[in-house]
Structure 1
């Protein structure tokens, strides 16, 4: 009889954990759907709140009125707002983002040609930021724990705040002036020079977030280094490298991962300005070009893609945090 008790209790524990995971999945999925609905609605309304006539801008001020009206009818812009919204939703379900007013090409095709350049730029910048921030934050935390090396601590804190507050595009301008125009080591703009073309825009995107992330890594690592389990590891006279990398670093990952996911989303969005500094053939330069020419369907589709990327990244961060610490995250969901 005594041996049967644990067996009987296990299904209840399993069902309890499964129920928590189910609630977590439903709630996170619900939040994602609501966010997507708000994003789609905002992207649709944006084209109608911006002043000016995109058809007139595309055809020119001298175009006959009947030609403008015919083009507006062809694009469905003379339909009631609700009808346009429902047609827009229907198009999204079919994978149709509309048609460019300027080029008459499908918006999805235009975005597809440039999406890879933007995503590769954002991911490389994020990887570089991690490669800089994590070792730097850990090294400073180890060097300055328990109040040691006050000058190093103050210099790191001040420097990371200053660097993290500089806009990405301004860093990009400085990098171009020094390494492209001044020294001539790297290409000024474009993507035609292969790997060398990535160096300056990736640096421009990565430097600021790396400084912010390094500061967070340092704070979290300093806290973990004073925890009981790290003190126990020191009492066992384990090697310092093992203590720092095996016992301390994994416990400092949670906050770093949370901020890192937010930084990745902001990096992708930050490509809008950086791409224009370096004439990068991505979504960022395209959206600015489309705003200037009032090609609102392209602007609408690009904003929607940026928003979806941000929402997906944030959702993946939530899932990753749950896998690392299911008790706290599932409980809060």
Structure 2
């Protein structure tokens, strides 16, 4: 009679031949990021070739001499074969060269470097407001309305949040300007100045996502409150704050982070319209002006910047989900 096989383990407690699930998870996530970046870069490159018409002629004007247009095309390398242009484009990206603006002749990197900090400060401010406000608000509403209590509070919260979240960011921005800047005169109408200039654009960007995420937190928290481990924690007479924040809150985060990541990704794109409403000197105004002027190198750079921001937000959400629910890494391994 042979002895049963003994599992050979290696350092770290994993059986021999089993890969580290965290390494597998991180490897797959970064591989997806690289593939997504490759697709994004390719689409941004093809943009200038798929749009009907001659971008150089559009940038210089219909009355520009043909010799000037041809010289401009030659200087930009647009007369080279497509594969050569693509190789030069990738080479420029690795060197940090995004090309030259067709209208101003200024390197695109310089324009992005001047405008990106304003957009980044606005987007990060809105992100902080959303995270600091949405999760506590959702938990508070779940505690107040658990077990069918306070129907009036629940109805008021769900109705108000649904109404505000349905308002587009640019329309909410116009309403905020009319009330707080034009009518009351409390805050500046437009431009980037002191802290008071951030209040209205940050509120326009964060109001909808805050309420949507708060509703998700509330629904998820109510579902967790009915679980056996929460009832057991209450039976042990643990302090309420410990029951809610130590036991219930982490288990309600999974769906919240997943949907919240999608909302934050859309919020990044929504900053384009809000910045134009408030005449914010960021990437939003640059994108609109470059589209109107058919300045495709600048449009390409803006697409890359915003696309990369959305990809990084999604990567951060995936990493946070893995920290909150480590079982997801094991399943992927």
Structure 2 unaligned regions, length at least 5 = 1-5
Are 1:39 and 2:40 matched, yes or no? yes
TM-score normalised by length of structure 2: 0.92
State the partner residue of 1:310. 310
- Give every structure 1 segment of 4 or more consecutive aligned residues whose post-TM-superposition deviation is greater than 3 Å: 5-12, 14-18
Give the Cα–Cα distance (whole angstroms) in 1 for the partners of residues 19 and 196 of structure 2: 49
State the partner residue of 1:163. 164
Deviation at 1:151, TM superposition (A): 2.4
State the partner residue of 1:28. 29
Cα gap change, 1:140 to 1:96, in 2 (>3 Å): same
Cα gap change, 1:106 to 1:153, in 2 (>3 Å): same
Are 1:203 and 2:203 matched, yes or no? yes
Are 1:293 and 2:280 matched, yes or no? no
C-alpha contact 1:190 1:281 (8 A) present in aligned 2: yes
Q: Report the secondary structure of 1:100's partner residue.
A: coil
Give the Cα–Cα distance (whole angstroms) in 2 for the partners of residues 249 and 9 of structure 1: 35
1:196-275 to 2 correspondence within 5 Å? Answer: 196-275=196-275
C-alpha contact 1:125 1:267 (8 A) present in aligned 2: no
Deviation at 1:12, TM superposition (A): 4.8
State the partner residue of 2:145. 144
C-alpha contact 2:275 2:282 (8 A) present in aligned 1: yes
C-alpha contact 1:123 1:264 (8 A) present in aligned 2: no
Give the Cα–Cα distance (whole angstroms) in 2 for the partners of residues 236 and 211 of structure 1: 33
State the partner residue of 2:3. none
Cα gap change, 1:17 to 1:197, in 2 (>3 Å): farther
Deviation at 1:214, TM superposition (A): 0.6
State the partner residue of 1:75. 76
Deviation at 1:110, TM superposition (A): 0.8
The worse-fitting range, judged by mean Cα deviation, of 46-55 and 132-141 is: 46-55
Deviation at 1:20, TM superposition (A): 1.8
Cα gap change, 1:234 to 1:65, in 2 (>3 Å): same
The worse-fitting range, judged by mean Cα deviation, of 64-73 and 146-155 is: 146-155
Deviation at 1:299, TM superposition (A): 0.3
Q: Report the secondary structure of 1:272's partner residue.
A: helix
State the partner residue of 2:319. 319
Give the Cα–Cα distance (whole angstroms) in 1 for the partners of residues 15 and 287 of structure 2: 49
Give the Cα–Cα distance (whole angstroms) in 1 for the partners of residues 179 and 19 of structure 2: 56
Structure 1 unaligned regions, length at least 5 = none
Instruction: Calculate the aligned-residue CA RMSD, in Å.
Output: 2.0
State the partner residue of 1:278. 278
Are 1:113 and 2:129 matched, yes or no? no
Cα gap change, 1:290 to 1:14, in 2 (>3 Å): farther
Deviation at 1:132, TM superposition (A): 2.2
Give the Cα–Cα distance (whole angstroms) in 2 for the partners of residues 286 and 113 of structure 1: 10
C-alpha contact 2:59 2:293 (8 A) present in aligned 1: yes
Q: Report the secondary structure of 1:13's partner residue.
A: coil
Cα gap change, 1:216 to 1:73, in 2 (>3 Å): same
Q: Deviation string for 1:56-91 (max 9, x for gaps)?
A: 233222221111111111111122222211211111
TM-score normalised by length of structure 1: 0.92
C-alpha contact 2:101 2:297 (8 A) present in aligned 1: yes
Give the Cα–Cα distance (whole angstroms) in 1 for the partners of residues 10 and 298 of structure 2: 57
Give the Cα–Cα distance (whole angstroms) in 2 for the partners of residues 6 and 81 of structure 1: 56
1:58-137 to 2 correspondence within 5 Å? Answer: 58-137=59-138
Deviation at 1:16, TM superposition (A): 6.8
State the partner residue of 1:331. 331
Q: Report the secondary structure of 2:112's partner residue.
A: helix
Deviation at 1:34, TM superposition (A): 1.0
C-alpha contact 1:201 1:278 (8 A) present in aligned 2: yes
1:162-201 to 2 correspondence within 5 Å? Answer: 162-191=163-192, 193-201=193-201
Q: Report the secondary structure of 2:103's partner residue.
A: coil
C-alpha contact 1:59 1:68 (8 A) present in aligned 2: yes
Decide which structure has greater helix share: 1
Q: Deviation string for 1:293-324 (max 9, x for gaps)?
A: 11110000110111011111111211121122
